[in-house]
Amino acid sequence: MHMHISSSAAVYVISVAADLAGMHPQTLRQYDRLGLVTPERTAGRGRRYSGQDIAELRMIQQLSQDEGVNLVGIKKIIDLQNQVDALKSRNEELETEVRSRMSAKEREARVFAAGTAGDVVSISRVRRPRGRPEPGAMVLYNRFRRR
């Protein structure tokens, strides 16, 4: 039986996380103190790292070793990325709210017209009834209608 572990589940002790990230455990402790990667803590204060934490550790190592970015620069990059993620999330919330309000506004803006058989039909404000009115049919005309 194969069980899937979420990448956000904090399951790795510091020695295993250090091995997976290709670092010394002391480096992980330093990164925790600096706030670069903050693992979850057990009741006994032991660090537990998630798959996401290990991916972040690898990214920090790449920025540091391959790109030559110092730890202060890396902290700033991480903070800015977190800010971008938060803004993207807020933007999605606002877009959803705007769509919701627009559809509510569209529902409020419906117009009712008399169908050719004398029935009442709902049409959008911008759409006109199809076809020509029958002789003697009453047609609503509003010359003050805003565009």
User: Domains in the chain, please, with CATH?
Assistant: 1-69 (1.10.1660.10), 70-125 (no CATH)
Tokens of 95: 């877009």
- The answer to pTM > 0.75 is no
In whole angstroms, give the CA distance from residue 34 to residue 56. 14
Q: What is the mean pLDDT of each run of 10 residues along the chain (147 residues)?
A: 70 94 95 93 91 94 94 94 96 92 72 73 62 63 56
Q: Burial level of 130, CB count in 10 A (0-12/13-18/19+)?
A: exposed
